[in-house]
Structures are given as C-alpha cells and as structure tokens.
C-alpha cells in the first residue's frame, strides 16, 4: 500500500485527491501550517515554509509527494500580495528540497503549476513547448517551475501539472459563476473571446492517481480537458443549462481593470491549451465535456 504525502491538501484539488486516495485504499499524510491540527491528527504533520520549519517524520516511508501548496492568486495584487503569491510557492518548494537531502530518493514527486505561464494567442493551440509570456503570472510560474525542477534530483520521476481553470461545485470560481447566472447577472468578461482551458477537480485528482500507477508518465503536462471554451460560450452554455436568460451585455475590460487593477488579467487573459500530451498517456477523463460538468454539478 503506497503512502502519499500532500502539501496544500485542504484546498479544492487536495481535498478531492484525499477523497480519491481514501476510496482507493491508499495511506495519505498532510503537511499543514496549522500546528493545532498536526497535534491532534496522526496523519498531519506541521510545517512553516516561511520560517523553514518542518516535521521530518512526515517523510518516513513515503512513496509519493504531491506538492500543491501556494497562496491563491485571487488576492489584491499589491506589492505584498504579489510577493505572497510568489514566495508561498518558492519557500514551500525550497523547504521540500532541503528536507529531501537527508531522505532516500522518493519514487515520484508530482507538482502543481499553471497554464498562466502561456501568452494569449487567441485561437492558436498552445502545447508544453510554448515560450512563456512576460506578465506577472507567467513570471511566477517560470520561477515556480524552476524551483520544482530541482526536486528531480531527489526522486526517480517528476511530473509537473500545468493546471487550467479548475471547475467543481465544491469550490473555486464555478459556484460563483453559477450563482451570478442563477440571479440573471452572469455575463462574459471583456470581449468574451478569451479561451478558458478548464478541467474538473475530479480529473486533476484522477490524473494524479493515474500518474502514481503509470511509470511512463513523466515531465510537464497541460492538465486541461480537450475542449477549451471561450468565456462567452461558457457563460452562455451555463445559462442554458440553468434555464436562465442570457441577455446582459459583456462586462467591459475597462470596468474590470478599474475594479481589479492588474488582477483583471486573471479574467481577461485566455489560453487555448492543448491536452494532446496528457491524452497520449492513455488517461481517460471523467469530465471530457463541459455539459457533463454542468449536469454533474446540478446547476
């Protein structure tokens, strides 16, 4: 029975993964910044990446590390906010690296990354070899991946997931969009022609499980579904699924930038990420089409 150590295990992807591993009969452990939780739970170990603190016992007999930790990008992009977004990723990754220097090689390390590394090329498909963008999010991802690549010295296999927009009825952006549509205020952002390379949270967890059990999976993968939707089409299909009218005008770019500042790029920047590499591994999606997401979420 494999033992999986998870960072960021209480987030949307982490909690979905924990449920899956439990169902499959795997042991899992969590690295948590909440000391009280680590004192009351046998499978939770304390760490504090900002202070360089970690309970080394967390690594005992671990077969897989799944590194998902990182503060949300959906926070004010002030100087301190940007620093938090970047350092939460670098500090946690560097602490893992330092900890692994005194541990025997881990068979597999799986790390999170993001499709935010790519430029918005409109209708053009983007694969894993695409040159990174030069904006803030791309800069964070480039530095993040550079740090995680150094983990390859301490494992037999390293898998990096460039995750797209994660959909789930249990969290993330989807419940907010569904709620807005429910009350007839769902509208596309900006021109609405920017692509949303999405994936259901269940499929992210399933791909992690698939990677654990398939040794040919290695390297960087666009962890997205096969059918990206433009923001306008997504919102229209959501309204249709909810049997709601879709008549309001798009939310103008200038208004989003006025309210959110630079952070509006999260909503306005698109990428049509190709999933051909992940599909070539033989991985099968539980949610290959957006309509199945809508039906499952009972919108």
Among candidate residues 115, 139, 127, the one with its CA nearest the CA of residue 269: 115
Residue 44, beta-bridge partner list: 30
CA trace torsion 213, 217, 218, 219 (10° rounding): -130
pLDDT greater at residue 196 or residue 1 = 196
H-type alpha helices, the chain: 12-24, 35-40, 79-100, 136-149, 174-182, 201-212, 231-241, 253-260, 265-268, 276-279, 290-297
More confident residue, 265 or 180: 265
- Parse the chain into domains and list their residue ranges: 3-297
User: Is 64's pLDDT higher than 70?
Assistant: yes
Report the pLDDT averaged over residues 9-31. 95
pLDDT at 37: 62
- State the fold for domain 3-297: Rossmann fold (3.40.50)
Contacts of 62 (CB under 8 A, 6+ apart): 3, 4, 5, 29, 103, 106
**Helix 79-100, helix 136-149: angle, nearest 10:** 10
**Torsion angles phi and psi, residue 244, rounded to 5:** -120, 150
CB 285 within 8 A of CB 226: yes
The predicted-structure confidence for 201-257, as pLDDT tens digits, reads as follows 999 999 999 999 999 999 999 999 999 999 988 888 888 878 877 767 888 888 888
pLDDT at 258: 87
> Which residue in this structure is represented by tokens 């920047």?
269
Angle between helices 231-241 and 174-182 (to 10 degrees): 60
Mean pLDDT of 282-286: 97
Query: How much of the chain, in percent, has pLDDT values that exceed 90?
Result: 70
Alpha-carbon distance 186 to 204, whole Å? Answer: 26
pLDDT at 87: 97
| Residues 82-106 pLDDT 10s | 999 999 999 999 999 999 999 989 9
Q: Which has the closest alpha carbon to 23: 205, 216, 283?
A: 205
Distance CA 85, CA 137 (A): 9
Position with higher pLDDT, 288 vs 294: 288
* pLDDT of 299: 43
Model pLDDT, residue 180: 67
CB atoms within 10 A of CB 191: 14
How confident is the prediction for the chain on average, in pLDDT? 91
Percent of the chain predicted with pLDDT > 70: 93
* Position 296 pLDDT exceeds 80: no
Which residue do the tokens 């699924």 mark?
241
């Amino acid at each position: 029975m494999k033992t999986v150590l998870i960072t960021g295990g209480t987030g949307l992807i982490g909690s979905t993964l924990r449920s899956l591993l439990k169902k499959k009969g795997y042991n899992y452990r969590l690295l948590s910044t909440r000391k009280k939780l680590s004192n009351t739970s046998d499978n939770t170990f304390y760490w504090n990446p900002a202070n360089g603190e970690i309970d080394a016992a967390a690594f005992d007999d671990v077969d897989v590390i799944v590194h998902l930790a990182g503060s949300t990008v959906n926070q004010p992009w002030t100087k301190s906010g940007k620093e938090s977004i970047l350092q939460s990723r670098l500090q946690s990754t560097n602490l893992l690296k330092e900890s692994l220097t005194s541990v025997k090689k881990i068979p597999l390390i799986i790390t999170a990354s993001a499709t935010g590394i790519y430029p918005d090329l409109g209708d053009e498909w983007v694969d894993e070899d695409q040159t990174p963008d030069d904006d803030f999010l791309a800069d964070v991802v480039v530095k993040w991946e550079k740090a995680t690549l150094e983990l390859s010295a301490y494992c037999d296999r390293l898998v990096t997931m460039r995750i797209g927009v994660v959909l789930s009825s249990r969290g993330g952006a989807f419940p907010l969009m569904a709620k807005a549509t429910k009350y007839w205020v769902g509208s596309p952002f900006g021109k609405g022609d920017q692509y949303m390379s999405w994936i259901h949270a269940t499929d992210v967890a399933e791909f992690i499980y698939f990677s654990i059990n398939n040794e040919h999976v290695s390297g960087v993968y666009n962890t997205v579904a096969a059918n990206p939707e433009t923001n306008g089409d997504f919102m229209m299909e959501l309204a249709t699924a909810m049997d709601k009218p879709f008549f309001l005008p798009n939310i103008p770019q200038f208004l989003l930038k006025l309210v959110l500042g630079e952070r509006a790029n999260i909503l306005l920047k698109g990428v049509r990420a190709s999933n051909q590499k992940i599909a070539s591994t033989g991985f099968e999606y539980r949610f290959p089409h957006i309509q199945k997401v809508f039906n499952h979420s009972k919108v």
